[in-house]
Structure 1
């Protein structure tokens, strides 16, 4: 196989001509330099124009942005100004509220102090009123006792019909004779009727015009006052021994009606005696009676005697 040599170089010889190569290179470079200025100038103009357009666009955009920012800042400044005004108004309102709150607190403190003073006064008045009520109650009870003591010498006759021109002393003597009690004129201090008229017609002197209009609950009772309590008690004992007296026993004409003789009680004690009898009957008490104007009760023959002196004593009836 034959070996071929590489194709011959255009620069034949053992060494190339360097001077020629240098000239060709310079020539080529010179040619390029001649062509470059035309392209470079056009590019620079376009680039400069583009740069100017870009700068102008950026400036326009920046100007718009500046205007928008300025407008936003103006609005923000106005809002901030309004907010500051609102804050000042709120601050003023808070100050006014604080002043008002302080004023109210002072008023509340004054009211509390006044309320405390008033409460103390009320407590004092309540205490005084309670003490006064207690005193009034005590005085009332004392007055009741004294009023009842003033009637210890009295007997009360109920159910005796009224007669025009009646003689009460003769009626009392007739009753005393009927029960076998030796009554003398010196035994009696006075005799009178207690006015108890309600709806019945009466004449000018307070006496009923006729017997037919009289009712046992409205007939004025006869009060006999004895000069000695002992004589009163003796006559009352004779009355209780006789029992069941009538108007005929008093020497009165007409239909016979029952009459009753007992101690002369105060209105309060009469009511108390009535309540005691009703309650005693309900509780099966065997004995309920009066002794020297005292209300006494006993449930059976061997039970303890109960003294009823006021409304609270009714609780003893069991």
Structure 2
């Protein structure tokens, strides 16, 4: 983790240096500088994502005054038939909304002791095919569904959202995230395509495109 943080700070310094030189250079040099900045920013985002490899993000979990998030995670483990003990949880907290005017509950970020445990929790959650808030005693609404995903960076969340939107328009059946990589599949028998950048969104296209 210390090494990741050191590398990230070094890359951020290089980005600032390139950006400060950009305004005084010619057009050709400016284009080259912009490309270099984009590459470095991508590397920074990649390092930030690596730092989250043991993290989970829970969304649509109703907020309660005086809530005990540690107990909540333990109860969630019981529901998905996977024992999660308090010693397995490094940290757990709610995070501010990206959009301040949002009325949805604040998301919960959970850092667990290992990536293996993180992946096991995700698998167990998906195997159960949904957890409802009322099952945790958080709501009387039997349709209030809780979601559990990998903790993506803001850039990856934006890309994931755009990927889902395009996949819906192009009638792709599946869009999901595995080990911080966005994956899409048109049907049960179609090949899986990886979406790692905005350029890759071109891989998602209508079945009859070009015919």
Who is 2:188 aligned against? Answer: 301
The question of whether the paired residues in 2 share the 8 Å contact of 1:188 and 1:226 is answered with: yes
Deviation of the 1:253 alpha carbon: 4.7
**1:34-78: per-residue Cα shift (whole Å, max 9, x none)?**
xxxxxxxxxxxxxxxxxxxxxxxxxxxxxxxxxxxxxxxxxxxxx
Q: Higher relative contact order by CA 8 Å / sep ≥ 6: 1 or 2?
A: 2
Deviation of the 1:274 alpha carbon: 1.2
Deviation of the 1:124 alpha carbon: 5.7
The question of whether the paired residues in 2 share the 8 Å contact of 1:172 and 1:250 is answered with: no
Who is 1:314 aligned against? Answer: 201
Q: Is 2:100 aligned against 1:198?
A: yes
* Structure 1 runs of 4+ with >3 Å offset: 253-256
Deviation of the 1:233 alpha carbon: 0.1
Q: Is 2:78 aligned against 1:177?
A: yes
Who is 1:251 aligned against? Answer: 137
Task: Determine which structure has the larger helix proportion and give its number.
Answer: 1
Q: Is 2:158 aligned against 1:158?
A: no
Q: What TM-score results when the alignment is normalised by the length of structure 1?
A: 0.54
Task: Determine which structure has the larger strand proportion and give its number.
Answer: 2
Is there any run of 5+ residues in structure 2 with no aligned partner, and where?
Answer: 1-22, 206-211
Q: Is 2:107 aligned against 1:221?
A: yes
Is there any run of 5+ residues in structure 1 with no aligned partner, and where?
Answer: 1-121, 201-214
Deviation of the 1:302 alpha carbon: 2.6
Q: What TM-score results when the alignment is normalised by the length of structure 2?
A: 0.80
Taking only aligned residues, the RMSD between alpha carbons, in angstroms, comes to 1.9
The question of whether the paired residues in 1 share the 8 Å contact of 2:195 and 2:201 is answered with: yes
SS at match of 1:182: coil
**What CA distance in whole angstroms lies between the structure 2 residues aligned with 1:159 and 1:136?**
36
Which has the higher Rg, Structure 1 or Structure 2?
1
**What CA distance in whole angstroms lies between the structure 1 residues aligned with 2:169 and 2:40?**
32
The alignment of Structure 1 onto Structure 2 pairs a total of residues equal to 181
**What CA distance in whole angstroms lies between the structure 2 residues aligned with 1:123 and 1:265?**
35
**What CA distance in whole angstroms lies between the structure 1 residues aligned with 2:36 and 2:112?**
33
The question of whether the paired residues in 1 share the 8 Å contact of 2:94 and 2:106 is answered with: yes
